[in-house]
Homo-oligomer: A and B are copies of this chain.
Amino acid sequence: MAHDETALRQAHDELYRALNARDLDAMTAVWVQEPWVECVHPGWPALRGWNAIRKSWQAIFQSPSRLAITVSDVRVRVLDTTALVTCVERIKSQQQEFLDTTLAQTVNVFVRRDDGWKLVHHQASTMPTTSPLAVPESDSIN
């Protein structure tokens, strides 16, 4: 279990390394390349299947807007041969002289394959600065 958690954090780190480096080959190696996997970029509808997801990363990597993403509050939960890794993404984007920073609450679902933990679902939800209702505090015992 401790080994799984270390391996999962490495797979998770590699996702964001590939993203920040605009490295499509490395991004490809992170994912299960099958037609049922899903990806929800912030504010996008769901993309289904590796082909569509690969094209989306290609479009993001070729965009004139530069992205730099750092993650915090990383939580790992191993569930048998599946695992959930949740985090907060701080997304800094720069297009010419315009700088923008947004936060996204993100879940990454990995499955254990022969060649390691591979991503099957990535979903980043934009976090507005205000919430519709008073937000209950998360449980203190985790």
Contact = CB atoms under 8 A, between A and B. Distances in A.
Interface of A: 35-36, 38, 40-53, 55-56, 59-60, 63, 73, 75, 77, 79-82, 84, 86, 88, 105, 107, 109, 111, 120-121, 123-128, 131-139, 141-142
A55 to B, nearest CB: 4
A135 to B, nearest CB: 6
Contact of A138 (B46, B80, B139): B46
Contacts of A88: 45-46
A127 B86 contact: no
A60 to B, nearest CB: 7
Contacts of A40: 105, 107, 125
Given A135-B56, A139-B49, A139-B50, A43 B79 contact: no
Nearest to A127: B45
Contacts of A48: 75, 138-139, 142
A123 B107 contact: yes
Contact of A131 (B45, B53, B109): B45
A32 to B, nearest CB: 10
B49 A131 contact: no
B135 A44 contact: yes
